[in-house]
Amino acid sequence: MSKGANIAIGMIVVAALAAGGGYWAGNRGAQKQGGATMAAGGKQERKILYYRNPMGLPDTSPVPKKDPMGMDYIPVFEGGEAAEPAAANQIAISTDKVQKLGVRTAKASRKAISKTVRAAGRIEPDERRVYAISPKFEGYVERLYVNATGQAVAKGQPLFEVYSPELVSAQREYAIAAQGVQSLKGAGSEAQEGMKQLAESSLMRLKNWDISEEQVRALAKSGTARRTLTFRSPVAGIITEKKALQGMRFMPGDSLYQVSDLSTVWVLADVFEQDIGLVKEGAKARVSINAYPGKVFTGTVTYVYPTLNAATRTAQARVEMANPGQLLKPGMFSSVEVAVAARAEAVTVPVSSVIDSGTRQIVLVQVKEGRFEPREVRLGARSDDNIEVLEGVREGEDVVVAANFLIDAESNLNAAVGSFGHAAHGNSAAKDGGQAGKTAGVVGHKGEGVVEKVDASSGMVSINHGPVASLNWPAMTMEFKVANSALLEQLKPGARVAFEIVERQPGEWVVTGVRPVGGSKADATAPAVSAPAANPHAGH
């Protein structure tokens, strides 16, 4: 082969290699740019369309960046998240952060609301089964048959004997009158009638003194007055009070013994004020006693007392229950559970899904993966696990039941809620509807003023500022918290500054950026100092 032919063949090979190298380099550059998405292992990578604001604000960027709070913008991939930015009233959290936060959701469902009212109570004797032994005449305790408090007695069992001169005199009067009636049987009707009335009055006197019929019959039969009288227990029960001592003198009306029938007892439950309307007479109650773990007693609510204890904000509910085996003893503490009748079915969400600020209630609804919408809701009846939603959430919607407070910390929940027409925390709401619409969703608020005082130890600064349009504030002097010590270098007394503030907690305003302003060129071109990665929700 000639020398010219060899040169031609070499040039062709070089050209082919150059073309192949250019093709490989072009594909390699396209991969770096995101145009071609083939990875080394052959797996296709997704193309990044743009980066969106992490707080759900309508702001995107073609390149990675951070927002004023120091949070990274979130990438939006081709074929992944929707190309349009999140709505102003939504919170956008990347899926990996959702997993790290442990976010869990549950569907709002329609179910009947039932509740169990729980209260602390104590065992008390049934007041209708407590009997006092009180003689109606003066006398002396001659003998005691039952001489200890707490002793069990049977019905009709002797308790004590008494001696009374009045009793002996009354017995003799009745005996004489009874004998007179017998001796005047043959006399005139007028004398006979008078003696009969005297005998009847003497008998009535004895009966009014609680002398038993048996003793009266024995007295009428024998005609002999007994020196002492025996008092017996009117019921079977327990001696809960004993004041009688052998040989003591008593006066009419003195309570010497108290006998309580404990076959039935009361449980007086202290029901909290908000639950009083739920407890009705006739409701069944379950009572647990610490002395008998695992054992449950049942009773019925028979009365709800009409007065409220102002100190504890509770009202008493009376539960009546049987006391087999005398297990329930007066003075015991108990735990009472009253099942409240279930209400009609309604849309409900788990109790843990509600964020209650004290002035309103918010529920986070998952619109789609990584998108959450805060909704102000109106709540109804509440059970132990669920709560009725009257407005704000529809049946079948997914609500956040775990890590909802962490979502609040990770994102600007208040800014998203602000898009409803409210200001971030309720303190900076615009008075007019037009201004409220302008300030909805604002994260940081800007103003200008003169530094009056700086307290480096506490990180506080006092600024006499002009009007702040985004908050509808007039000119005034206020104290602000400084996000970090680096900002204090720009905050010198007498300096005129432009500043940016956020509300970290209700009523707590924090300076996150500052820049000196003035007439000189140096002041106008001075760099702004911002707080690195300040989180306005750090105090939540």
Cα distance between residue 294 and residue 171, in whole Å:
59
Cα Rg of the chain, angstroms: 46
Note the pLDDT of residue 321: 94
CATH fold group of domain 268-340: Elongation Factor Tu (Ef-tu); domain 3 (2.40.30)
Note the pLDDT of residue 223: 67
What single-letter DSSP state applies at residue 66? B
What single-letter DSSP state applies at residue 194? H
What is the CATH number assigned to the segment(s) 433-530?
A: 2.40.50.320
pLDDT digits (tens, 9 = 90+) for 118-162: 999 999 999 999 999 999 889 999 999 999 999 999 999 999 999
Cα distance between residue 170 and residue 87, in whole Å:
100
The tokens describing 177, both together, are 């009158």
Flag whether the pTM goes above 0.95.
Answer: no
Note the pLDDT of residue 410: 52
Cα distance between residue 458 and residue 1, in whole Å:
93
Is the Cα dihedral 296, 297, 302, 303 positive or negative?
negative
Domain map of the chain by residue range? 1-44, 48-101, 106-114+345-411, 135-254, 268-340, 433-530
Note the pLDDT of residue 407: 67
Cα distance between residue 218 and residue 168, in whole Å:
14
Task: With CA atoms as reference, report the closest residue to 127 among 293, 330, 364.
Answer: 330
The helix/strand/coil state of 164 is coil
Cα distance between residue 365 and residue 393, in whole Å:
8
Contact 307, 315 (CB under 8 A): yes
Note the pLDDT of residue 435: 37
pLDDT means over runs of 10, the chain (540 residues)? 47 43 43 43 65 69 80 72 53 74 86 87 94 92 93 93 87 78 70 76 79 74 78 92 93 93 95 90 93 93 94 95 91 92 81 83 86 87 84 90 69 48 37 37 74 87 89 86 79 89 77 76 43 41
Amino acid identity at 83 = A
pLDDT digits (tens, 9 = 90+) for 347-398: 899 988 888 877 888 888 988 887 888 888 998 888 778 888 998 899 999 9
The helix/strand/coil state of 345 is strand
Domain 106-114+345-411 has CATH 2.40.420.20: yes
Cα distance between residue 282 and residue 302, in whole Å:
6
